[in-house]
Amino acid sequence: MEDDVRELFGETADHFGHEILALEIADDHVHLFVQTDPKHSSTDIARQFKSYSGKHLLERSPEIRESYFWGGGFWKVGYYVGTTGAVSEEVVERYIEETEHAPE
């Protein structure tokens, strides 16, 4: 499933002109660091990645829908968006890496 998510996020980025700078996939969420044109709102970006990947993941593996979602979507409704502004790419990548490997 992780390989499929990476592939579909890459296709989404290519289609909409985004550049994926970092992508970390955990058991129950994804950290995605994207560089894009400011004409795209954060809401649009989240929708683009979630709708395209969710649709195709459920098409590729229909048993997931039947076993886990009872007919619902792949991704939860919410999401978190933060912008980097003057923060460097390296700082954000380090944050993503550290939060993925931090003890719970």
Q: Tens of pLDDT along 36-77? A: 888 888 888 888 888 887 777 777 777 776 555 555 566 666
- C-alpha separations of 8 from 1, 55, 94 in Å: 11, 10, 24
**CA neighbor of 47 nearest in space, from 70, 81, 72, 14:** 81
Residue of 6, 12, 13 lying closest to 35 (CA atoms): 13
Q: Give domain 1-100's CATH architecture.
A: 2-Layer Sandwich (3.30)
Instruction: Locate the domains of the chain by residue range.
Output: 1-100
Q: Tell me the per-residue pLDDT of 3-20, one tens digit each, with 9 for 90 and over.
A: 888 998 899 999 999 999
**pLDDT grade, residue 103 (50/70/90)?**
low
Q: Which helix (H) or strand (E) holds 63?
A: helix 62-64
Mean pLDDT of 28-42: 85
pLDDT of residue 67: 57
Burial track 2-35 (b if 16+ CB lie within 10 A, e otherwise)? eeebeebbeebbeebebebeebebeeeebbbbbe
Higher per-residue pLDDT: 10 or 82: 10
Look at residue 75 in the predicted model and tell me its pLDDT: 63
Q: What does the alpha-carbon distance between residue 13 and residue 19 come to, in Å, rounded to a whole number?
A: 6
